[in-house]
Amino acid sequence: MRALKPGLVRAVVGAAIGAVIGAGSLILAGIVGMEITDGEILGLGYLLALIGFLFGIGAFRFWLTWAVGREVNIEEEHAAHGTAGDWRRYFLFTTDHKVIGVQYLATAFTLFLVAGSAAMLMRFELAQPGLVLGKEAYNEIFSTHGAMMITVALISIVGGLGNYLVPIMIGARDMAFPKTNALSYWLLPLPILLVAINPLLGGFDSGWTAYPPLSQQANLGQQAYLMAFVTVGVASILSAINFLVTVFRMRASGMSLMRMPIFVWALTVTSVLGLVATSVVAGAFTMLLFDRVLGTSFFRASRGGDVILFQHLFWFYSHPAVYIMGLPGLGAILEIVPVFARKPLFAYPLAVLSFISIGVLSFMVWAHHMFVSGMATFFHIPIMFTTELISVPTGIVFLSALGTIWMGRLHFKVPMLWVFGFIWAFLIGGITGVFLADVPTDLTLHDTYFVVAHFHYTIVGGAIFGLFAGTYYWFPKITGRMYSERLGKLHFWWFTLAFNATFLPMFWLGIEGMRRRVADYSPQLGGVNLWVSFAAFNIFLSVAVFVFNIVRSWRRGPQAEANPWRAQTLEWQTASPPPIQNFDHIPTVSSGPYEYGGGLGVPAEGRATP
Amino acid sequence: MGFGEEDPDAARSNMLLAVKLGILSETMLFGALFAAYFVIRSESPGWPPVAGFERPALLLPGLDMVLLVASSGTMLWTVRSARSGDRSGIRRWIGLTLLLGVIFIIIQGFEFATNGFGLDAGTFGSTFYVLTGFHGAHVLAGLGLMAIVVRRANRGLVSAEHHTIVEATSYYWYFVAAAGVFLFATLYVL
Amino acid sequence: MTPPRRHLWIAAAIWAVLSIVGAVLVAGIQIIPVIASREAGIENSAFVLLAVLSVPVLMFVVVGLAYSAIWFRANGDEADGPPIHGHRGFQAAWLGISFALVIGLFAYGAAGLVDIRGAQTADFEVQVSAEQWAWHFTYPSTGATSKELHIPVGQRVHIVINSDDVIHSFWVPAFGIKQDAVPGRTTEIYVTATVAGTYPGLCAELCGFGHTNMRFTTVVSNRAALKAWLRKQKPGSEGSQPPPSGSESAS
């Protein structure tokens, strides 16, 4: 019986059984007279559904066999790795990191489209002064948009490109813990679904930041979001541990730390941030959940709780999270620049140091989100300093990119175009960040569209431009086929122009006093908002070009060579797509990753022959 | 990995590094809970905030702490037995550790049931139960790991060469014990 | 082929010209659209200074990118570029300049913050109470209450802020001050209005469905007019009815 094998069908059945048992038992308890709230029913139902889903997909079968002391069936375990060319493995609990990478990418891009559609609804409401969808609907839409886009930014590069490439780039056959890796991925579908259907539960209107007390009085959809976020958090902690052990323990011989590709360094620092910070927000969200469901009073001011405490805990995670989203993009960009400039990465050791410093500093700046929150004034001063200080290591990224480009032999293939777009967007994001770090200017700009524009320039600039650059760059490696250069260029120019046309005017809107998170605004801002809506719609259309290009090229694009870009990092020294164990023979590394121009190292072919 | 020749030493050191990293993450989780506790307590007019409300007596939790510390000792002996390949020693010591942990949970359950205040008893009840509850959940997870060790030891699968699970469980258990002592000092004594 | 040094000089010249022109253009702009308080004035100068300083930074990267995109194209040439891994002097200069900028900005920002916060003394006090979704103002000097904010021109006003339900944020754009209203604690801010007139005030922190329309009007007038207005307000008339619930009922 095919359906009874571990897989999606069984996972869905498992989730349904879990939900029925969890929610059903509480509903029954309610019928016999116990006091049961909707929140408790949703909570237990979701928890058991998640466990049922994971059992159904087969996440625990090897561990359980091992735990009770039975022989693990080696053949079955190998089968879980999947067979090359079998499309079904993308829908199973497959332990091959390359499959998991593609699963993450597909999930992230799907979510990107859904969250992008939510943005279109927002811009529809905001195109003209007055109300169309209504204030309730608008608040729920932007909350869902934020929650989903944050997830996209968190998982797309790390989970997708990171999973696919890090083991290959360091010369390993897989991640250190392939089954945990698959578990990290399969933890995601249910919470993502829960956020997607949260309007059915009444939606939530407190934004992705979920500040109490607003989030304590919001509908049941709020609880769905909090539970989903904690689940995604658990998944990212597991994945962070996996990356760190992989990077520190599984490098091929000769791959010293300072020979690692910069992208691997970026993911390493990202993983440290994810490991250390995520459990703090998981704790904060859990306390908030308990406040809602179990009657605790952590953030209930009327009962001695402290609402500002939540903001401290939340931003202690969520500011490093900005770098969890941004650093992988920076890494991808610096990875791509040397290849298309045909020059070694400029100041590589300094770039590594800058990633590490960004990581360390990111834990000391969280309270700059709270300059008007009423926290003690003396605390503003050191936070302003650390926040401005973080621009020094961030600036080094520009130094590296510009230094590599200068005097290079630039090939403007699509990935390189995205590099240029990235530098521009991230530069605007960085410069406007200084205005928000400076308390005097932040007092007027806080919670206005200036902030909206700023974080879209940094997060779209950092994460999404990096994601597109990386997706085009590694597309031939992942699929074994070339994308269409013409469609790629169309996508780049359309997206970049529309992106800037959307978000540059928002700085002006913010200065003019347009607040964040409002469904309506002063009539005199109508013209600019109409323009912004029109431009935003163009962003969405340009992404359609991307999707078309990817889907069509994957099916019918011309065959790609092993190394179409003449790059020197290890992933290009194996076939496209790589064989199931990545390399026929694990290579030995004898020089740094970017020895273009025949400087210190030997040519690519010599340094990493399998 | 599941591929080709697996190096047991590498697998073991990978697993132990992973456990250490996991403990780092757990430390941050407890850090967040403790931070919440200290902030709320420092803003409170008194502690417990409600006049006439007494903190739970020290006897049972004190006994629990003795059990936790003792179980760390027996855990240490489990690891020693595992390293030297003393199979009966492993079973004896892990069994004893498991027993101590179970008694801990029973006492904690009894304490919860007889405290006379609940989760919804203001900030004191919230912090008290959420902190001790999180810790109790970690103890339960530790007992689960120990049960696996017992099972595998009974099947003769734990030896001087193959005892990663024992070491991993011990790291975790020391962490749980340390967190417990810190918790005891904060919630009951300080 | 142009020698490397000449590329540097040409690019530097373009950068210098664009930076100076840009900085001069930016320096003359009043950025905050309406400035009606001492604090907004300080913020506007900070804003202008930061904008002026951003011009050379922006131009440096933009000129670097544009110049490279024009002059360093491979144009089908498959050869690699020069194997330059770094440049000690340039890296040190880059770091030195960025540290100097950061410390300068920080010092200026800290001084600005101290200036805005000023001394903890005031000539006039207003208590602000925010709820979903309305603002209430109480004047302790007379006990009057109102739904509009009235303050004197040219005098230092102490604004004490509370919230009954969720977090709101008190914001008068023309004053350049913004301060959250936080349930369970009292926040405060000082402002000195400099221009008499009527200005819109807003809630700046998401506070639920009514957030969009949570506005109020601020009237800045001379002391005599304010006194007359205060006399007309019946003490406690507006605040006499208990605030609608939306706050904790479970306590």
pLDDT of residue B6: 61
For A444, the token pair is 């007027």
A354 & A470 share domain: yes
Is residue A518 one of the residues assigned to a domain?
yes
Pairing label, strands C215-221, C197-203: antiparallel
> Which class does domain C124-232 fall in?
mainly beta
User: By CB neighbour count within 10 A (0-12 exposed, 13-18 middle, 19+ buried), where does A378 fall?
Assistant: exposed
Mutate to test the interface with A, among C19, C128, C164, C166 (most CBs of A within 10 A): C166
Q: Which residues of A touch B42 (CB under 8 A)?
A: none
* Domain containing residue A558: CATH number: 1.20.210.10
Pairing label, strands C215-221, C149-152: parallel
A43 & A153 share domain: no
Please check whether residue B137 touches A, CB under 8 A. no
Spatial distance between the Cα atoms of B45 and A368, rounded to a whole number of angstroms: 29
Concatenated DSSP letters of A151-208: HHHHHIIIIIIIHHHHHHHTT-SS-S-HHHHHHHHHTSHHHHHHHHTGGGGT---STT
**Beta-carbon contacts below 8 Å between A and C:** 264
Domain with A50, as residue range(s), is 1-78
Higher per-residue confidence, A536 vs B189: A536
CB count, 10 Å around CB of C64?
A: 19
- Tell me if B14 and A245 make a contact (CB, 8 A cut-off): yes
pLDDT of A211 > 60? The answer is yes
What pairs with residue A481 in β-bridges? A559
Query: Helices B164-184 & B8-42, crossing angle to 10 degrees?
Result: 10
Q: Which of A47, A78, A109 is the last residue of a domain?
A: A78
Please check whether residue B31 touches A, CB under 8 A. yes
CA C223 from chain centre, in angstroms, equals: 28
Listed in sequence order, the residues at least 6 apart from C34 whose beta carbon sits closer than 8 Å to its beta carbon are C40, C173, C174, C199
pLDDT band with cut points at 50, 70 and 90 for residue C250: very low
A117 & A164 share domain: yes
Q: What is the ipTM of this complex?
A: 0.94
Assign a CATH topology to domain B8-189: Four Helix Bundle (Hemerythrin (Met), subunit A) (1.20.120)
pLDDT of C242 > 60? The answer is no
A209 & A332 share domain: yes
Tens-digit pLDDT profile for residues C221-234: 999 999 999 988 86
pLDDT of residue C1: 55
For C161, the enclosing helix (H) or strand (E) is strand C156-163
A68 & A104 share domain: no
Residue bearing tokens 């996991």: B22
pLDDT of C19 > 90? The answer is yes
A443 & A517 share domain: yes
pLDDT of residue C235: 63
pLDDT of residue A5: 72
Amino acid (one-letter) located at A185: Y
Q: Which residues of B touch A585 (CB under 8 A)?
A: none
Measure Cα distances from A261 to A168, A206, A247, A349 in Å: 11, 40, 11, 11
Spatial distance between the Cα atoms of C58 and C64, rounded to a whole number of angstroms: 10
A499 & A532 share domain: yes
Each residue of A159-183: b (16+ CB within 10 Å) or e? bbbbbbbbbbbbbbbbbbbbbbbbb
Listed in sequence order, the residues at least 6 apart from C16 whose beta carbon sits closer than 8 Å to its beta carbon are none
* Angle at A187 (CA atoms; ends A50, B139), nearest 5 degrees: 70
Mutate to test the interface with C, among A345, A427, A441, A568 (most CBs of C within 10 A): A441
Is residue A545 one of the residues assigned to a domain?
yes
Tens-digit pLDDT profile for residues A122-175: 999 999 999 999 999 999 999 999 999 999 999 999 999 999 999 999 999 999
Amino acid (one-letter) located at A204: F
Q: Please, are residues B130 and A305 in contact by the beta-carbon 8 Å criterion? A: no
pLDDT of residue C33: 93
Tens-digit pLDDT profile for residues A217-246: 888 999 999 999 999 999 999 999 999 999
Q: Which residues of A touch C76 (CB under 8 A)?
A: none
* Angle at A416 (CA atoms; ends A415, A417), nearest 5 degrees: 90
Nearest to B28 among A245, A250, A279 (CB): A279
| Overall domain count for chain A | 2
pLDDT of B2 > 70? The answer is no
Is residue A94 one of the residues assigned to a domain?
no
For C170, the token pair is 């008190």
Residue A448 DSSP one-character state = B
Mean pLDDT of C188-213: 94
Whether the upstream peptide bond of residue A577 has omega within 30° of 0, thus cis, is: yes
Mean pLDDT of C161-189: 94
Q: What would you measure as the largest C-alpha separation in chain B, in angstroms?
A: 67
Tens-digit pLDDT profile for residues C25-71: 999 889 999 999 999 999 999 999 999 999 999 999 999 999 999 99
pLDDT of residue A171: 94
Tens-digit pLDDT profile for residues A421-437: 999 999 999 999 999 99
3-class secondary structure per residue, A17-49:
HHHHHHHHHHHHHHHCCCCCCHHHHHHHHHHHH
pLDDT of A181 > 50? The answer is yes
For B95, the token pair is 């069994």
Spatial distance between the Cα atoms of A336 and A474, rounded to a whole number of angstroms: 10
Q: How many CA atoms lie within 13 A of B183 on its CB side?
A: 26
Residue of chain C nearest A417, judged by CA positions: C69
- Tell me if C209 and A396 make a contact (CB, 8 A cut-off): no
pLDDT band with cut points at 50, 70 and 90 for residue C196: very high
Name the residue ranges covered by the structural domains of chain C. 4-71+97-117, 124-232
Tens-digit pLDDT profile for residues A80-129: 887 777 788 899 899 999 999 999 999 999 999 999 999 999 999 999 99
pLDDT of B134 > 70? The answer is yes
Q: Please, are residues B56 and B187 in contact by the beta-carbon 8 Å criterion? A: no
Q: How many CA atoms lie within 13 A of B178 on its CB side?
A: 11
Whether the upstream peptide bond of residue A393 has omega within 30° of 0, thus cis, is: no
pLDDT of residue C3: 74
pLDDT of A327 > 90? The answer is yes
CA distance A354 to chain B (A): 23
pLDDT band with cut points at 50, 70 and 90 for residue A4: low
Q: What's the whole-number average pLDDT of chain A? A: 92
pLDDT of residue A3: 46
